[in-house]
Amino acid sequence: MNAITHGGNLAAARALYGEPAGGWLDLSTGINPHGYTIPPIPPDAWLRLPEDDGLEALAAAHYGVNDANAVLAVAGSQAAIRTLPTLLPRGRVGVAQVGYSEYAPAFARAGHDVAVLSEAAFLGDLPDDVRHLVVVNPNNPTARVLPADTLRHWHARLCARGGMLIVDEAFIEALEDGPTLAPLAGTPGLVILRSIGKFYGLAGARIGFVLGAPDLLAALRDALGHWTVNGPARAVVRAALADTAWQTTNRTRLQREGTRLHTLLNCHGLPNVNTPLFAWAPTPHAPSLHARLARLGIWTRLFDVPIRCDGTGHAHDVLGIRFGLPPDETGWQRLGDALASLSLSV
């Protein structure tokens, strides 16, 4: 089972490599470096305990959910990931071998049997012995995107088994017309997780949404307790969800920059697949490349769990590096110069 590690861990970078002369260029996360500008926060958000402020109804409208009771704000997806397994009937749970590393331990801790699935498994049919399935769509880090029709088919089959399809859509909002299942929210056997941290660049606010059947959300709300999302965060997210002009402008910008990152890595000998927020470069030399970039003050996310990759028609184990977007032109130039200085033809 994968160890629980995350990007953005600059303390680990400093412990291993010290502080570079030019400071760290942190590309280790998939968080939008052009985050939403924080508006003035009403004083009551600090003075009063959080209460019904219309946030869930606003989120429902934003995500295309018909019933506001099918939406629950939580203190980041992490809160739901840790708690949901305790609310589901125990069974065999399919989780990606390379993906967000919190799911497998959370389900195992709750007494489920975790089945680690290869990337090839997600490109085939639903395993017959899986009762619950976790799909990160787009997947982090491999950038694999499954069509909505496939997910709807799997949902129907899992529901017939008394199971649950959990779709983590943390990165989907950056896509144009992403294959979201949010309009199905409220249907039994389906849970959808949406993030505010990635597209809006508000990871520090620790807020996200769970979309699901109202009875399951009521049980989740009861398990999490009162006031799990603080008032200032709720105020900021209400503004962000209502700011459609910012959303449109930034979605276009991220599409452009994601393509730029994809092209830059390709030009320097790193074939990759990408989403608008990150690029995944599978390479057997990932550990050494990660270390060489770190010595130049560029921190990337190393994934050192082999995956099954059949891009050449032959399955073989490879490693990979995830690159996030540089925050500015200085960062782009620095990344380009670093890649140019390394021999990546091996």
Q: Residue 218: which CATH number? A: 3.40.640.10
Looking at 206, 226, 242, which one is the last position of a domain?
242
| Paired sense of beta strands 25-26 and 298-299, if any | parallel
Residues near 254 by Cβ (< 8 Å), separated by ≥ 6?
32, 34, 174, 199, 276, 277, 325
150 is a domain residue? yes
44 is a domain residue? no
Which region among 211-225, 304-318, 320-334 has the lowest average model confidence (pLDDT)?
304-318
* Residue 232 shares a structural domain with residue 261: no
pLDDT score of 51:
84
**Domain hosting residue 68, numbered range:** 49-242
* Residue 59 shares a structural domain with residue 205: yes
* Residue 93 shares a structural domain with residue 216: yes
Take residue 331 and report the two structure tokens written for it: 């960062």
CA distance 69 to 71: 5
pLDDT score of 159:
95
Q: Name residue, tokens 């996030």.
A: 324
pLDDT score of 4:
66
Which region among 96-105, 131-140, 182-191, 258-267 has the lowest average model confidence (pLDDT)?
96-105
Among 224, 151, 144, residue whose Cα is nearest residue 182: 151
pLDDT at 27 over 70: yes
Looking at 219, 242, 265, which one is the last position of a domain?
242
Which region among 94-98, 263-267, 272-276 has the lowest average model confidence (pLDDT)?
94-98
* Residue 134 shares a structural domain with residue 236: yes
pLDDT at 294 over 50: yes
* Residue 309 shares a structural domain with residue 168: no
202 is a domain residue? yes
* Residue 165 shares a structural domain with residue 310: no
* Residue 260 shares a structural domain with residue 330: yes
Q: Determine the average pLDDT of the residues in 282-299.
A: 95
pLDDT at 233 over 60: yes
Percentage with pLDDT > 90 across the chain = 85
Among 173, 202, 212, 242, residue whose Cα is nearest residue 75: 202
Q: Name residue, tokens 């049919």.
A: 125
pLDDT score of 9:
87
* Residue 26 shares a structural domain with residue 111: no
Among 331, 314, 264, residue whose Cα is nearest residue 22: 331
* Residue 232 shares a structural domain with residue 326: no
Helix, strand, or coil here: 343?
coil
The strands making up 92-96's β-sheet, listed across from edge to edge, are 71-74, 208-212, 190-195, 164-168, 132-136, 92-96, 113-117
211 is a domain residue? yes
pLDDT at 310 over 90: no
1 is a domain residue? no
pLDDT score of 119:
86
Whether the CB-CB separation of 277 and 2 falls below 8 Å is answered with no
Residues in the chain: 346
Query: Which one has a higher pLDDT value, 8 or 223?
Result: 223
* Residue 19 shares a structural domain with residue 166: no
| 0.85 surpassed by pTM | yes
pLDDT score of 346:
40
Looking at 242, 272, 296, which one is the last position of a domain?
242
| Paired sense of beta strands 316-324 and 301-309, if any | antiparallel
Whether the CB-CB separation of 265 and 339 falls below 8 Å is answered with yes
Task: Tally the domains of the chain.
Answer: 2
* Residue 236 shares a structural domain with residue 298: no
Among 2, 167, 3, residue whose Cα is nearest residue 77: 167
144 is a domain residue? yes
* Residue 252 shares a structural domain with residue 280: yes
Across the chain, what does the average pLDDT equal?
A: 92
Residues near 229 by Cβ (< 8 Å), separated by ≥ 6?
50, 73, 74, 75, 206, 207
Which helix H or strand E contains 201, and what residues bound it?
A: none
192 is a domain residue? yes
pLDDT at 239 over 90: yes
| Paired sense of beta strands 273-274 and 278-282, if any | antiparallel
19 is a domain residue? yes
The CATH number assigned to the domain holding 20 equals 3.90.1150.10
